[in-house]
């Protein structure tokens, strides 16, 4: 089923429905080894979900101020973000350079209705499915 992005803007862009549970679940199914967030120095506990603004921190090269030991994957992520932003600015918004990341669709989004849930975070899964918020999820 296809919807115009403007019709779903308040349901997807202004909330974090695609970032919190469904996206983390789908990503954990793709690569189970990377399913746990790293501990960020701002808090004295490990985050349960993603850490927002991480792309901004990566862009300015400040990961060492937030992670105890940034690894090669963290540095590679920072380099990808920096290159994408630089290419976007240099091209006037026409190009993000070479990247495996998919571009955000300008007009439509394909939202599946047949999402299955595993045993990870059962309470959150139940909330998402009962609230019918899982249909707004995708992995970007």
pLDDT at 15 over 50: no
pLDDT > 90: what percent of the chain?
A: 0
pTM of the model: 0.44
| More reliable by pLDDT, 139 or 37 | 37
pLDDT at 34 over 60: no
Q: In whole angstroms, give the CA distance from residue 30 to residue 50.
A: 16
42-100: per-residue pLDDT in tens?
666 666 666 667 788 888 888 888 887 888 888 888 888 888 888 888 888 777 777 66
Q: In whole angstroms, give the CA distance from residue 62 to residue 129.
A: 37
Q: In whole angstroms, give the CA distance from residue 84 to residue 12.
A: 23
**Which of 64-68, 116-120, 133-137 is the least confident region?**
116-120
């Amino acid at each position: 089923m296809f919807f115009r992005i403007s019709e779903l803007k308040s349901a997807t862009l202004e909330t974090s429905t695609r970032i919190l549970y469904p996206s983390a679940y789908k990503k954990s199914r793709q690569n189970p080894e990377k399913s746990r967030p790293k501990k960020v120095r701002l808090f004295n506990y490990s985050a349960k979900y993603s850490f927002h603004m991480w792309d901004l921190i990566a862009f300015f090269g400040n990961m060492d101020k937030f992670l105890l030991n940034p690894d090669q994957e963290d540095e590679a992520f920072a380099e990808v973000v920096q290159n994408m932003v630089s290419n976007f600015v240099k091209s006037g918004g026409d190009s993000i350079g070479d990247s495996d990341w998919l571009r955000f669709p300008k007009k439509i989004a394909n939202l599946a209705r047949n999402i299955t849930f595993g045993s990870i975070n059962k309470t959150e899964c139940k909330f998402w499915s009962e609230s019918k918020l899982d249909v707004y999820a995708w992995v970007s």
